[in-house]
Amino acid sequence: MIDKDIIAEATEQLVAQNKEKVLEIANKVIADGGDPMELMNQAFIPGINKVGDLFGRGQLFLPELMVAADAMQAATDVINAALAAKGGQQEKKSKVMLATVKGDVHDIGKCIVVSLMRANGITVFDLGRDVDTDTIVEQAIKEDVDIIGTSALLTTTMGQQKNLEQALKSAGLRDKFKTMVGGAPVTGRWAARIGADAYAEDAQDGVVKVKELLSA
Ligand code: B12
């Protein structure tokens, strides 16, 4: 367990957009043997969510959101490197393709999902962000993946997840791949409505859902 004062300090420094402090705390916690996902889930995700709320309420503006996002990205890089160092036996059976959908550049959460899946031995093809449906389908065929996971952080880009379901159906490929959706505005109801096979609330849940989908 990471000390709760350190957790509180990490959250506070991220909300204060202090990248230097955020990095210092992240590096120290990892060096001291702290759990990288605990730090992410207990400190940095609540911190960036608070930043998002302040932005949504007009109490913080885009330049500040961008500085906070940069600090969050830097913290995520430290966490992801720590997860990668932990390794994970690559069991070639499960192959997942992940992408943030077209029109959406939010990729911090998707990158955490990529790292945690890899740390759990899942082979992940990361297509990055702002990826159009045709590219996702083409690459999924090329890499012969089992699951396609998409991330959407904007209410205006969630529709791309529905487009993917439709594109797979009209290409006669819907049964070839399982699909999984995630992102802050995405819900289990949305997944059910568009016909996706699974919804994951966070990276840990994503790993669980991959295992469930592949054993189904
Ligand atoms: C950081 C951030 C940015 C950064 C993104 C940097 C980056 N490289 O990602 C920057 C500054 C670039 C940005 C830009 C914009 N943003 Co912004 N942003 C955020 C913020 C504060 C945090 C997002 C984040 O990183 N969260 C932390 C991660 C860890 O959480 P997550 O992404 O949800 O991911 C977790 C889970 O959802 C899940 N998950 C996610 N994807 C997937 C996929 C799969 C397959 C699985 C299994 C799981 C999974 O696992 C992850 C880990 O646990 C959110 C607020 C919020 N609370 O979401 C606003 C927010 C999403 N942004 C918003 C807006 C409006 C914008 C802009 C339009 C602002 C503008 N005027 O330009 C632009 C849009 C640019 C674009 N075209 O995409 C709004 C969206 C509102 C809406 N109704 O759609 C929000 C909600 C802020 C707000 N309250 O108004 N943003």
Using the mean position of ligand 1's atoms as its centre, give its distance from the Cα of residue 184 in Å: 7
- Mean pLDDT value of segment 17-31: 97
User: What pTM was computed for the model?
Assistant: 0.93
Using the mean position of ligand 1's atoms as its centre, give its distance from the Cα of residue 108 in Å: 8
Over residues 143-159, the pLDDT tens digits come to 999 999 999 999 999 99
**pLDDT in the model for residue 86:** 76
Over residues 27-44, the pLDDT tens digits come to 999 999 999 999 999 999
Tell me, what DSSP letter sits at residue 185? Answer: T
Using the mean position of ligand 1's atoms as its centre, give its distance from the Cα of residue 91 in Å: 31
**Ligand 1 pocket test, candidate residues 153, 160, 204, 205, most atoms within 8 A of CB:** 153
Over residues 155-212, the pLDDT tens digits come to 999 999 999 999 999 999 999 999 999 999 999 999 999 999 999 999 999 999 999 9
Over residues 88-113, the pLDDT tens digits come to 665 557 899 999 999 999 999 999 99
The pLDDT confidence band at residue 84, using thresholds 50, 70 and 90, is confident
**pLDDT in the model for residue 94:** 86
* CA 26 from centre of chain: 19
Coil, strand or helix at 150: strand
**pLDDT in the model for residue 9:** 97
